[in-house]
Amino acid sequence: MRSDLRRLATEMAVIVLVAAAVGIAWNFRLLRDVWQGHASTASAPSLPAPNAPAEPLPLGLIQIKELVDSKEAVIIDARDREAFRKGHISGALSLPLGEADRLVPELVAKTPKEKLLVVYCNGYDCHDSKTLGRRLLAAGFGQVFVFEGGFPEWRDAGYPVAQGGE
């Protein structure tokens, strides 16, 4: 039994020495640079992160309620003006998708690009909010979100609704 332990210990030592030799040989240039003081402590440059995601990110009811209450975001209604007049999230701006060519440049002119934007329309089946969200991302806004439940989910939750306005 003693000889088995000795043999096992010898094999382990050989494996460790071989692994160390391979590691040193593989990294010789790097180790040489470190020993000569030429290695940099700075990390390698990473690839730049894209300025904005390709798609607006989804938000849920609780998240949008917090943003509306805190007034940290610009809430944008992508529905047509008639739907907006009948009822919209309190404090929302009307920016119908059909008028985006005219209205997005106006929004760009008066809103900082780093401002958080939340776009909504008529719920999960309505894609106007996502389409408008993509246009806002393309216009240079970096934080664009979509409230997928839209006005119906907001209204049905009993949250503040406004009527009228442009």
Could you please state the CATH topology (level 3) that the domain comprising 57-162 is classified under.
Oxidized Rhodanese; domain 1 (3.40.250)
Segments in the chain below pLDDT 50: 40-49, 52
pLDDT at 32: 66
pLDDT at 133: 95
pLDDT at 49: 41
pLDDT at 145: 96
What pTM does this model have?
A: 0.67
Q: From the CB of residue 54, how many other CB atoms can be counted at a distance below 10 Å?
A: 8
Nearest alpha-carbon partner for 127 in 73, 54, 58: 58
pLDDT tens digits, residue range 13-24? 889 888 887 777
What are the sequence ranges of the domains in the chain? 1-44, 57-162
Calpha distance 86→158 (Å, rounded): 16
Calpha distance 58→144 (Å, rounded): 9
What are the backbone angles phi and psi of residue 92, rounded to the nearest 5°?
-75, 150
